[in-house]
Amino acid sequence: MSLFTEFTIFVLAIFVGFEVISKVPTTLHTPLMSQTNAIHGIVMLGGLIVLGYADDPLEYLIGTIAVAFGAINIVGGFMVTDRMLGMFAKKPKPKGDADGKGGSAGK
Amino acid sequence: MISLAVLEPGGDAATALYIVSFSLFILGLKQGTHPTTAKRGNLIAAVGMAVAVVTTLLLDGMGNWGYIAIGLVIGSAVGAYASIRVKMTEMPQMVALYNGVGGGAVALIAWSEIRHGISFGEMPLEDLIPTLLAAIIGSVSFWGSNIAFAKLQDLIPTRPLAVPGQQIINAVLGIGVIVLAIIIAINNEPPSQALFILILVCAAILGNLVVLPIGGADMPVVISMLNAFTGLSAAAAGFALQNVALIVAGTLVGSSGTILTMEMATAMNRSVGNILFSGFGGAPAAAAGSGEQRPVTSIGAQDAAIKLAYADNVVIVPGYGLAVAQAQHAVKEMANQLEARGVTVDYAIHPVAGRMPGHMNVLLAEADVPYENLKEMDEINPEMPRVDVAVVIGANDVTNPAAKNDPNSPIAGMPIIEVSQANEVIVIKRSLSTGFAGIDNDLFYEPNTSMLFADAKAAASEVAAEIENL
């Protein structure tokens, strides 16, 4: 892959990122952040590659720590996001007084 | 050495699978735009991650399976345990920690890449430059995140900690790191490992020094920025490893973090540079004591209950004080009592309520507040004049009318929730003390404001009980 191909991908990804992320409502910014957090755990791929082709003790150590860091990032990030979004996704309770603004005369 | 040996590194099949993976990330993030689809979106992104990881494990020539297994098992176990145990109030430090490990992983990968370059005798600039960038940004992010974590976890003081001549030291470190990188790039046959380690060390000190002077209230900006940094460092690592999944995923995170950083800075009416380099909290405190004693109206829980119970609609304005007092469940109980009497209850959420973007929404969602009732600042402000009672719980600066009325106020121009427009305001607060900005809140002295001096959680429970007894 040439450097220019990589730059093309990079620049397009910036635009896609801004386009998609700016549509996320403030309410969901914390889950968004922890989900993007999990996504930057993609660096674990780099860790796997350097470790998978490593051939001296220091690199085994560096690579293993990098993979462990990446795995914390990925597993923890996606799981905690799931837990958080579960709270938002709770079934909305049937609201009897949905028209509460005008219909509260009975008190 | 056993190799699963299925995919050629950099070959068509591996690249195609990486494209599938980043497409799933984008689809997943797109689903994150609504609370009902966001959970599925997160799953889609997780599947994308699984595709990327499996693809990498299947690359030809991969070995050292024992070490890979150790890293995967330990990391997954730690991540899973932490994500199950973490309290929702602790989400900011959790995110800071994940930013940190991500950045740390990037810095380590860069180090390993440099060692490969050395063993080959030279490293082409198109690999070396992104590797150096990844190392610098990753290292700053790792150490900066650790400091942010320590501050949020109260391991070190959250007030701004400044070293004399800090700006100069930072500038010297920043320039020094770049000069070192240029020296390595010029003498790249082979690149110097000693200088590279010096870069890692300087970037580490820089990461510490940049975050240490930042006060607790500015954490939403810092966390968003570190998030962007880690994303960009991952993208840089993607350039170095010529891995399209890393480039796209890292860039997406970089964009996301950048957007959130700018939004948070706007919500505080300050520039990102001002937040990073000014150590808020010290300077404006002097202005606080100047005011004369002004009369306030103080009420008890019973009076508050009566005001609330006979209102048509109530808006609750929660701040970080509510989270500190763990009062979200008590507040929800109070809202339940009101709703049972036919009162409409909404929640007005300021963008920087909490310690990270959107934090307050998560805390209220945890207490079962339906997201339909969570109103953003711009949505609720036009409705404020029609609100019967606004209840401010643990929020201060974000309700201060001085931001609109007093051009000389340190927070002048900061967008606020305009509670003073409501017919009546009840402020639940321990005392008249100032908020993070260190200035008096004019709201407390307005004629339509009543102060309920108490701990947020105790007060909310008490008011709920009083409403029930009415």
Tell me which of A12 and B120 has the higher pLDDT. Answer: A12
Residues near B157 by Cβ (< 8 Å), separated by ≥ 6? B151
Residue A90, pLDDT score:
65
Which region, left, alpha or beta, applies to residue B360 given φ > 0 means left and ψ of -120 to 50 means alpha?
alpha
Distance set, CA A2 to CA A42, A51, B9, B74, B244 (Å): 21, 24, 15, 36, 11
Confidence grade of residue B163 (pLDDT, cut at 50, 70, 90): confident
Q: Which of residues 263-322 of B touch A (CB under 8 A)?
A: 263, 309-310, 312-313
Residue B3, pLDDT score:
53
A91 touches chain B (CB under 8 A): no
> What distance in Å separates the CA atoms of residue A70 and residue A40, rounded to the nearest whole number?
9
> Is residue B282 predicted with pLDDT exceeding 80?
no
The verdict on ipTM greater than 0.90 is: no
Residue B218, pLDDT score:
82
Which region, left, alpha or beta, applies to residue A92 given φ > 0 means left and ψ of -120 to 50 means alpha?
beta
Mean pLDDT (whole number) for B86-108: 93
> What distance in Å separates the CA atoms of residue B345 and residue B347, rounded to the nearest whole number?
7
Tens of pLDDT, residue by residue over A69-106, are 999 999 999 999 999 999 887 655 544 444 433 333 33
Look at B370 and A81 and tell me if their CB atoms are within 8 Å: no
Residue B451, pLDDT score:
93
| Mean pLDDT of the residues in chain B | 89
Judge contact between B238 and B253, C-beta under 8 A: no
Question: A14 to chain B: which residues are within 8 Å by CB?
Answer: 251, 254-255
The encoded tokens of residue B184 equal 């390595």
Q: Which of residues 410-469 of B touch A (CB under 8 A)?
A: none
Residue B44, pLDDT score:
97
Least confident of A86-90, B10-14, B55-59: A86-90
Look at B249 and A42 and tell me if their CB atoms are within 8 Å: yes
Q: Which CATH class is domain B288-469?
A: alpha beta
Mean pLDDT (whole number) for A35-49: 95
The residue behind tokens 């963008």 is B351
> Is residue B122 predicted with pLDDT exceeding 60?
yes
| Spatial CA neighbour of B356 closest among B419, B263, B244, B438 | B263
Write the residue in A30, A66, A89 that is nearest to B358 by C-beta: A30
What are the structural domain ranges in chain A? 43-87
Residue B4, pLDDT score:
56
Look at A13 and B255 and tell me if their CB atoms are within 8 Å: yes
Residue B325, pLDDT score:
83
Mean pLDDT (whole number) for A48-75: 94
Which one of A26, A53, A58 would you mutate to disrupt binding with B, by most B Cβ within 10 Å of its Cβ?
A26
The encoded tokens of residue B449 equal 């404001």
Residue B237, pLDDT score:
95
- Which residues on adjacent β-strands are paired with residue B390? B315, B425
Look at B246 and A45 and tell me if their CB atoms are within 8 Å: yes
**Residue B272: burial class (beta carbons within 10 Å; 0-12, 13-18, 19+):** middle
Work out the number of other CB atoms within 10 angstroms of the CB of residue B295: 7
Tens of pLDDT, residue by residue over B284-311, are 444 444 455 678 899 999 999 999 999 9
Confidence grade of residue B384 (pLDDT, cut at 50, 70, 90): very high
Question: B224 to chain A: which residues are within 8 Å by CB?
Answer: 33
> Is residue B1 predicted with pLDDT exceeding 70?
no
Mean pLDDT (whole number) for B152-179: 84
Q: Which of residues 182-221 of B touch A (CB under 8 A)?
A: none
Residue A92, pLDDT score:
53
Range from A43-52, B212-221, B287-296 that averages highest in pLDDT: A43-52
Which one of A5, A24, A39, A56 would you mutate to disrupt binding with B, by most B Cβ within 10 Å of its Cβ?
A39
> B401 vs chain A: nearest CA distance in angstroms?
23
How many cross-chain Cβ pairs, A to B, lie less than 8 Å apart?
393
> B6 vs chain A: nearest CA distance in angstroms?
14
B24 touches chain A (CB under 8 A): no
Look at A45 and B52 and tell me if their CB atoms are within 8 Å: yes
Tens of pLDDT, residue by residue over B189-204, are 888 999 999 999 999 9
The answer, yes or no, to whether the previous bond of B190 is cis (omega within 30 of 0) is: yes
Residue B83, pLDDT score:
94
B50 touches chain A (CB under 8 A): no
DSSP letters for A9-25: HHHHHHHHHHHHHTTS-
Give the active site residues of B.
397
Look at A29 and B357 and tell me if their CB atoms are within 8 Å: yes
Residues near B31 by Cβ (< 8 Å), separated by ≥ 6? B37, B38, B40, B41, B42, B44
The encoded tokens of residue A86 equal 């579960």
